[in-house]
Amino acid sequence: MSATGWWIDTLSARFHELPGVLNAGHSSGARELVDRRRASGGPRPRPVPLGRLIHSNRANIAAMRRTIFNEEHDMFREAVRQFVSREITPNVETWEREGIVPRDLFTAAGSAGFLGMDVPEAYGGGGVEDFRYNQIIGEEVQAAGAGGAGLGITLHNDVCLPYFLSLTTEEQKQRWLPGICSGELITAVAMTEPGIGSDLASMSTSAVRDGDTYVVNGSKTFITNGINADLVITAVKTDPTQKHKGMSLVVIERGMEGFERGRNLEKVGLHSQDTAELFFTDVRVPVDNLLGSEGQGFVHLVRNLPQERLSIAVSAVAGAEAALGWTLDYCRERTAFGQPIGSFQNSRFKLAEMRTEIDIAWVFLDRCVESLNAGELSAEEAAEAKWWSTELHKRVVDTCVQLHGGYGYMLEYPIARAYADVRISTIYGGTTEIMKEIIGRSLGV
């Protein structure tokens, strides 16, 4: 299998049983694409008219055409969409009640080729470094109204994997990457502590060197995938006399003595996502589990945070798009005073404003994705994308609830769940205020 053809081969092999797109001639279409690509020396971005990207709820929405995806991305999107409608959508209600997704979701995503798309094939990944594939997964779970259920996968792919790719030794790669790609090893990143969040360098979880182990003591909180995780990238202080320069990253593994999980925290929204407290009491972590260099933990985090923030921004704009789609449907059907509520000038103006802002957001976001792919996305640009997109998402969802009237407050309507889910997005991954600090500082003021 070629590195570039991995997912098309995956689609042909693993999705042949799916009805519709993948069964109706796309396998041969996929094969042609692979052949054409092989002949031309690999994939390259080229603008392909896509029309409306996000399914059902975008029907009849006059959205601006996006130009960063090519046919391969379109086919990947179709496969993700089928996966979401088959594996996630039918189970969301159960998972929301249970407060967690099953580990099987990760192995299903892994065997479908939706984990570790950018991991070299030698370690079980797709071998394609292109964030647009990650972006598509984030967009599709939002389009299906399954942001809570999908968050664990996007965190695994977009946030945790870069650490395992860029900071690991050959031995660590062989030990961890195949399981991360198959979904048998679920990942999390633990920075926040009960006493600190934004002021990360003041964290206090300690790692004291003793022979060939670090002895770790402390606790973390609000950790996404906290219950399901097998590998926890943990920010520790190896030199408590220093702030930034005293930080390191170690991987704490399921089953290590002294590593305990606390409650699966009860949240306002994102109910199917497990978010937990983690406790470390004299956990002996082998020095072989150090990620990158001792004392460079803060630098490693800063290098990886732009991709995390862009991932959150992608979900935010896709979530806003989905909310607008549900609301347009509702505004066409619901009548008051003998006319569809969407035909009132106030409703039309609100809908027009949201359409405009979402289109503007896509343009900026897609540009940021291109920059990330080119290795050029700056911390400031990622901060801009994060704060502006998540604030937009929050504003859009609030307006959409208003347009739904009382039904917008009923959980059987997806907009109500979105209302609860969206609130955290301007807080996690760095608050709006911290994003503005990052941007403001770069302005020399």
Ligand X SMILES: Cc1cc2nc3c(=O)[nH]c(=O)nc-3n(C[C@H](O)[C@H](O)[C@H](O)COP(=O)(O)OP(=O)(O)OC[C@H]3O[C@@H](n4cnc5c(N)ncnc54)[C@H](O)[C@@H]3O)c2cc1C
Tokens of 394: 């929050």
Indicate which single residue of 80, 119, 185, 189 sits in contact with ligand X (rule: CB under 6 A): 189
In the residue annotation, 193 being an active-site residue is answered as no
Of 84-92, 129-137, 216-224, 388-396, which segment contacts ligand X by CB under 6 A?
Answer: 216-224
Tokens of 2: 């070629």
The least distance separating ligand X from the CB of residue 192, rounded to whole angstroms, comes to: 4
What long-range pairs does 326-334 form, CB within 8 A, spacing at least 24? 326/57, 326/145, 326/400, 326/413, 326/414, 326/415, 327/351, 327/354, 327/400, 327/403, 327/404, 327/415, 328/57, 328/60, 328/61, 329/57, 330/403, 330/404, 330/407, 330/413, 330/415, 331/403, 334/405
Indicate which single residue of 11, 149, 165, 191 sits in contact with ligand X (rule: CB under 6 A): 191
Q: Is 218 in the site for ligand X (CB under 6 A)?
A: no
As a whole number of angstroms, the distance between CA 48 and CA 405 comes to 39
Q: Is 310 in the site for ligand X (CB under 6 A)?
A: no
Task: Write phi, then psi, for 54 (nearest 5 degrees).
Answer: -105, 135
**7-26: burial string, b at 16+ Cβ within 10 Å, e else:** bbbbbbebbeebeebbeeeb
Q: Which residues 6+ apart lie within 8 Å of 318 measured at CB?
A: 54, 138, 139, 140, 142, 143
Indicate which single residue of 129, 239, 437, 439 sits in contact with ligand X (rule: CB under 6 A): 437
The least distance separating ligand X from the CB of residue 193, rounded to whole angstroms, comes to: 8
Q: Is 433 in the site for ligand X (CB under 6 A)?
A: yes
As a whole number of angstroms, the distance between CA 289 and CA 283 comes to 12
How far does Cα 61 stand from its chain's mean position?
25
As a whole number of angstroms, the distance between CA 136 and CA 169 comes to 30
The least distance separating ligand X from the CB of residue 361, rounded to whole angstroms, comes to: 22
Nearer to ligand X, 216 or 424 (CB): 424
Of 80-88, 161-169, 184-192, 290-298, which segment contacts ligand X by CB under 6 A?
Answer: 184-192
The least distance separating ligand X from the CB of residue 234, rounded to whole angstroms, comes to: 9
The DSSP code sequence of 58-125 is GTT--PPPP-S--HHHHHHHHHHHHHIIIIIGGGHHHHHHHTS--THHHHHHHHTT-S-TTS-GGGTS
Q: Which amino acid is at 442?
A: S
Nearer to ligand X, 229 or 317 (CB): 229
Question: 231-237 and 187-190: which strand pairing?
Answer: parallel
Nearer to ligand X, 12 or 304 (CB): 304
Q: Is 190 in the site for ligand X (CB under 6 A)?
A: yes
Indicate which single residue of 215, 287, 427, 439 sits in contact with ligand X (rule: CB under 6 A): 427
Q: Is 56 in the site for ligand X (CB under 6 A)?
A: no
As a whole number of angstroms, the distance between CA 131 and CA 311 comes to 9
The least distance separating ligand X from the CB of residue 231, rounded to whole angstroms, comes to: 13
Q: Is 227 in the site for ligand X (CB under 6 A)?
A: no
Of 295-303, 342-350, 385-393, 424-432, which segment contacts ligand X by CB under 6 A?
Answer: 424-432
Q: Is 168 in the site for ligand X (CB under 6 A)?
A: no
The DSSP code sequence of 114-156 is -S-TTS-GGGTS-----HHHHHHHHHHHHHTT-HHHHHHHHII
The least distance separating ligand X from the CB of residue 268, rounded to whole angstroms, comes to: 9
Nearer to ligand X, 113 or 269 (CB): 269
Q: Is 229 in the site for ligand X (CB under 6 A)?
A: no
Q: Is 391 in the site for ligand X (CB under 6 A)?
A: no
Q: Which residues 6+ apart lie within 8 Å of 441 measured at CB?
A: none
Indicate which single residue of 197, 218, 297, 319 sits in contact with ligand X (rule: CB under 6 A): 197
Tokens of 297: 């933990």
SS3 167: coil
Q: Is 202 in the site for ligand X (CB under 6 A)?
A: no
Nearer to ligand X, 310 or 434 (CB): 434
Nearer to ligand X, 285 or 351 (CB): 285
Name the catalytic one among 308, 321, 381, 384.
308
Indicate which single residue of 4, 154, 205, 224 sits in contact with ligand X (rule: CB under 6 A): 224
Indicate which single residue of 8, 275, 308, 358 sits in contact with ligand X (rule: CB under 6 A): 275
Question: How many residues sit close enough to ligand X to count as binding (CB under 6 A)?
Answer: 23
Q: Is 267 in the site for ligand X (CB under 6 A)?
A: yes
Nearer to ligand X, 21 or 196 (CB): 196
As a whole number of angstroms, the distance between CA 431 and CA 426 comes to 6
Q: Is 280 in the site for ligand X (CB under 6 A)?
A: no
Of 9-17, 242-250, 408-416, 429-437, which segment contacts ligand X by CB under 6 A?
Answer: 429-437
As a whole number of angstroms, the distance between CA 326 and CA 418 comes to 11
Residues annotated as catalytic are 308
Binding site for ligand X (CB under 6 A): 188-192, 196-198, 222-224, 267, 270, 275, 424, 427-431, 433-434, 437
